[in-house]
Structures are given as C-alpha cells and as structure tokens.
C-alpha cells in the first residue's frame, strides 16, 4: 500500500496529543519522515516518538523541505504563523495539511485559498469539528428530515480558560494567553464550534452578535452571543463563555428543534446523539468522540490516492474565519452583518446588511 511521506512542522501539544495518535492508527497509510520545531528539544523528542534518528530533527522548515523527500507537511504552529509558513511550503510545491484558521485577516486568507490552484498542490485544513462523527450524524439526520423542517437551534459552550492556563494544557501557551490576532479565544477556540454549526446548517446569510467586554488579553469579551440566519432559512443562537463553568447536568449543549421533533447533543465527548420525536418516541445514536483527527488524515490520504476529494479545502475554512471576523465587527459596530454574500468567495469583504 502506498504511504504518504509526511513531515511535521510544529511539535507541540497539537502534534503530541491530537495528530500523532491519529498517525499511529494510520501507520499503513502514513510515514513520518522528519520533524521541525524552533525548539530543537521538541523536534528531537518528536523524532524519538516517531522512531526517527536525531538527524531528522530540524529547527528550520525550509532546510527540512529542501533536504527531505516529502509528499506533504502537517503544519501545527501558532495561528499568526499559519499563513506565512503555508505560503513558503506551497511555493516549493509540497502538499499541505494545516491547522485552522487560514490567517488572521481576510486578505491573507483569500490568498491562501488560491495556493492549491496556483502551485498545483493538495491542501486540507485540519478543522476537526467538520470531521467529528457527531456533527456528521446530525447533518445527515437533518438532510433526511428526521425531525421534519428545522425551525431553530440553540448551542451553548462553556469552558474555564483561566483555570486551564495553570495546567499542562493548550491554554498554558503564551501565544494563546496574549494573542497577536483578533478575537483571542473566538478565533482560536469558538471557531471550532462555529465550523461545526456551519458544517451542519451551511452558509450564513446574516448574523447579529453581542459581547460583554472585559480587560483580558485572551479574549476581549467575557462572553459572546450570536444570532444567525442561514441561507437555508434556519435561524439559531450560539453562546460562548470561555471563563466559566456549567455546574448543572445535563448541559444545555446543542438543541435543534424541528416541526416533528428535536436533536440534542449534550457535548462532543458524550458519545450519544439523542433524537426525540413529537409522537413520544426517541432514539439514541452512539458515536466515537473526537474522531475528527483520524477522519481528517484519512480523508487527505484518500484524496492523495485518488479515492475521494478533500472535504475541508481552504475555501471552506475561509467561511469559518469570515464568520468570526463578522462576529467581532457586529459586536463593535452594534449592527447586523452579512457573512456569506455569494456561494463562491470572490473578495475578502464583510458588508453591513
């Protein structure tokens, strides 16, 4: 079986806890051939974990891609580095797997969407919420009209980022606590939830957002509340509170209300999608939590071997970034903002409705 020869750029927690376990499951499809990190010790540790010699540990990704025979690179760097690193890799014609978001602004993100055609390469954005089993189950239930016509939804996500800062977690990273990009946790964290919502319901026509201001670097708002109107006619609300706790069970979670029933997902690690019908019956659909990392790498492999197409190309992730920036604009200007103006991206603009 043909294996994809992949090199790692960025050997931090995303590599260690998220991507590497998926590569382990896909050893018959991927071969990790080199690792790069600006911290040489991290690069060496990554090569040891991957069963490579220290000569495969790099601190300069440009040197690595020039020396190694590669099919692809997996980019896991701080958000502000995604665009410049991806641009360098694309220019030498190497296929790309890259973490979200594309960039910190729409102009660079739009340019990112052009790399695949410009340099004749494959690019997949590793937005795991678009590959998670629960979101695909829910999307299929809606497509099959299991609860009739969707009328509206509510989705609530709470996490305690300040508490997580103190542990050996993603929140402990300096670049997350004092971000050099707009929105802080909105662009780094809530973008996942918004990607999942967009994956289920499609393009957003308009949104109206409110935020409760705070003097914290990690996010300019204590909480954000977004009303969304989708091009399909569905309306809904997403609330994000990154510095609190939800003590009561069951959690509010995500609840989708239709003309013939409702869908309820308590949280992405619950392992169950609940469907309740107006006739009093119900069903519980099991899923494996956090399978997005495995599924995204499998999708890239299948595209590489011409079995299927990449599901989350840069133009898909462009819409997720645009949504976050529209939320920030709506909060700041206290106005309704139009998001997906046309089906295909033509220009990096957000206009007021």
| Domains of the chain by start residue, with CATH | 4-127+294-311 (3.40.50.720), 130-289+321-338 (3.30.360.10)
Strand-strand pairing, 123-125 and 221-230: unpaired
Output the pLDDT for position 248: 93
Output the pLDDT for position 134: 98
Mean pLDDT, residues 76-86: 98
Q: Would you state the structure tokens that stand for residue 206, as one six-digit string?
A: 């308009």
Would you say 13 and 284 are in contact if contact means Cβ atoms under 8 Å apart?
no
H helix runs in the chain, sequence order: 13, 20-25, 40-49, 61-67, 82-91, 106-112, 115-119, 133-143, 161-164, 174-177, 185, 191-201, 292-304, 314-333
Q: What is the DSSP letter of 190?
A: I
Helix axes 314-333, 191-201, angle to 10 degrees: 110
What pLDDT digit, counting tens, does each position of 30-47 carry?
999 999 999 999 999 999
Neighbours of 332 (CB within 10 A): 12
Q: In what order do the strands lie in the sheet with 123-125?
A: 57-58, 30-36, 4-9, 72-75, 95-98, 123-125
Output the pLDDT for position 1: 72
What pLDDT digit, counting tens, does each position of 201-249 carry?
999 999 999 999 999 999 999 999 999 999 999 999 999 999 999 999 9
What pLDDT digit, counting tens, does each position of 261-287 carry?
999 999 999 999 999 999 999 999 999
75-84, 154-163, 341-350: range with lowest mean pLDDT: 341-350
Q: Hey, which residues does 243 pair with through a beta bridge? A: 160
Find the length of the chain. 353
What pLDDT digit, counting tens, does each position of 1-32 carry?
789 999 999 999 999 999 999 999 999 999 99
The band of 342, judged by pLDDT with boundaries at 50, 70 and 90, is low
Distance from the Cα of residue 179 to its chain's centroid? 17
What pLDDT digit, counting tens, does each position of 58-72 carry?
999 999 999 999 999
Mean pLDDT, residues 323-345: 88
Mean pLDDT, residues 171-193: 96
What is the reported pTM?
Answer: 0.93
d(CA 41, CA 15): 14
73 Cβ contact partners less than 8 Å away, ≥ 6 residues apart: 6, 7, 8, 9, 61, 65, 89, 94, 95, 96, 97
Express as a percent the part of the chain with pLDDT over 70.
Answer: 97
Output the pLDDT for position 344: 44
The band of 259, judged by pLDDT with boundaries at 50, 70 and 90, is very high
Q: What is the mean pLDDT of the chain?
A: 95
104-108, 220-224, 348-352: range with lowest mean pLDDT: 348-352
d(CA 209, CA 326): 9
What SS3 class is residue 250? coil
């Amino acid at each position: 079986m043909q294996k994809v020869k992949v090199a790692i750029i960025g050997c931090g927690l995303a590599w260690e806890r998220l991507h590497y376990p998926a590569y382990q499951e896909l050893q018959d499809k991927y071969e990790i051939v080199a690792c790069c990190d600006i911290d040489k010790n991290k690069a060496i540790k990554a090569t040891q974990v991957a069963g490579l010699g220290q000569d495969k540990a790099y601190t300069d990704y440009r040197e690595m891609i020039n020396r190694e025979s590669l099919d692809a690179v997996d980019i896991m760097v701080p958000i502000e580095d995604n665009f410049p690193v991806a641009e360098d890799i694309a220019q030498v014609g190497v296929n790309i797997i890259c973490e979200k978001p594309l960039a910190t602004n729409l102009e660079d993100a739009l340019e990112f969407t052009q790399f695949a055609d410009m340099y004749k390469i494959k690019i997949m954005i590793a937005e795991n919420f678009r590959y998670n089993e629960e979101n695909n189950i829910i999307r299929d239930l809606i497509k099959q009209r299991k609860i009739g016509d969707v009328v509206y939804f509510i989705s609530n996500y709470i996490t305690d980022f300040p508490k997580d800062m103190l542990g050996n977690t993603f929140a402990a990273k300096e670049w997350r606590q004092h971000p050099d990009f707009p929105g802080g946790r909105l662009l780094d964290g809530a973008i996942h939830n918004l990607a999942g919502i967009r994956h289920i319901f499609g393009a957003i026509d308009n949104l109206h957002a409110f935020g409760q201001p705070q003097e914290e670097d990690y996010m300019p708002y204590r909480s954000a509340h977004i009303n969304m109107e989708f091009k399909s006619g569905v309306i809904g609300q997403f609330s994000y509170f990154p510095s609190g706790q939800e003590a009561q069970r069951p959690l509010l979670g995500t609840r989708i209300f239709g003309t013939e029933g409702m869908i309820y997902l308590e949280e992405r690690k619950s392992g169950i999608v609940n469907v309740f019908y107006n006739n009093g019956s119900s069903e519980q659909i099991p899923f494996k939590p956090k399978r997005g990392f495995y599924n995204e790498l499998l999708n890239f492999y299948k595209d590489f071997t011409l079995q299927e197409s990449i599901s989350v190309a840069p133009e898909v992730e462009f819409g997720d970034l645009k949504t976050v920036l529209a939320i920030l604009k709506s909060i700041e200007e206290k106005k309704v903002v139009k998001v997906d103006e046309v089906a295909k991206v033509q220009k990096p603009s957000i206009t007021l409705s």
